[in-house]
């Protein structure tokens, strides 16, 4: 499935102009959804250490969603998760490689749609202010 980008139609300049506030919204949209789907504590997604293997993979999925669905660069995602861009690239590759599992692929498809909808709603609400 091709991911729905939350910022379709926006230029790179417009995307970057949203800055830190937008990135904080990305975390608020992604973290709770990933935590529920992968049955981990939401605080483990932001932890400085790896935690359990399940929490580490959930964090990798969150980084993947921030990059693929929200259109953030690897560097932006790294800053958002306090990780290096190469760590984010590894996470994205790992998640893509594991999409051969139908159960995981289904979960990721649902997460992609849910996160895109949440981000679009946040952008819509922001535009109405």
The CA distance from 93 to 72, in Å, is: 16
pLDDT at 24 over 80: no
Decide: 45 and 34 in contact? Cβ < 8 Å.
yes
Residue 9 dihedral angles phi and psi, to the nearest 5°? 90, -15
Structure tokens, 83: 């990780």
Quote the percentage of the chain above a pLDDT of 70.
78
Query: What DSSP assignment string belongs to 74-107?
Result: HHHHHHHHT--HHHHHHHHHHHHHHTTSHHHHHH
Closest CA to 79 of 115, 27, 39, 129: 27
pLDDT of residue 96: 97
Residue 3 dihedral angles phi and psi, to the nearest 5°? -70, 145
Q: Give residue 8's pLDDT band: very low, low, confident or very high (50, 70, 90).
A: very low
Sign of CA dihedral 17, 121, 43, 39: negative
The CA distance from 75 to 86, in Å, is: 8
Task: Convert the pLDDT of each residue in 43-85 to its tens digit.
Answer: 999 888 878 999 999 999 999 999 999 999 999 999 999 999 9
Structure tokens, 71: 């259109």
């Amino acid at each position: 499935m091709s991911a729905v980008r939350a910022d379709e139609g926006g230029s790179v300049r417009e995307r970057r102009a949203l800055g830190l506030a937008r990135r904080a919204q990305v975390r608020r949209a992604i973290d709770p959804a990933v935590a529920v789907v992968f049955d981990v504590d939401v605080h483990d997604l932001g932890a400085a250490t790896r935690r359990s293997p399940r929490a580490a993979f959930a964090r990798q999925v969150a980084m993947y969603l921030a990059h693929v669905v929200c259109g953030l660069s690897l560097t932006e995602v790294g800053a958002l998760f306090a990780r290096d861009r190469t760590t984010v690239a590894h996470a994205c590759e790992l998640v893509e490689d594991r999409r051969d599992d139908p159960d995981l692929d289904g979960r990721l498809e649902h997460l992609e749609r849910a996160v895109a909808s949440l981000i679009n709603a946040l952008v819509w609400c922001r535009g109405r202010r």
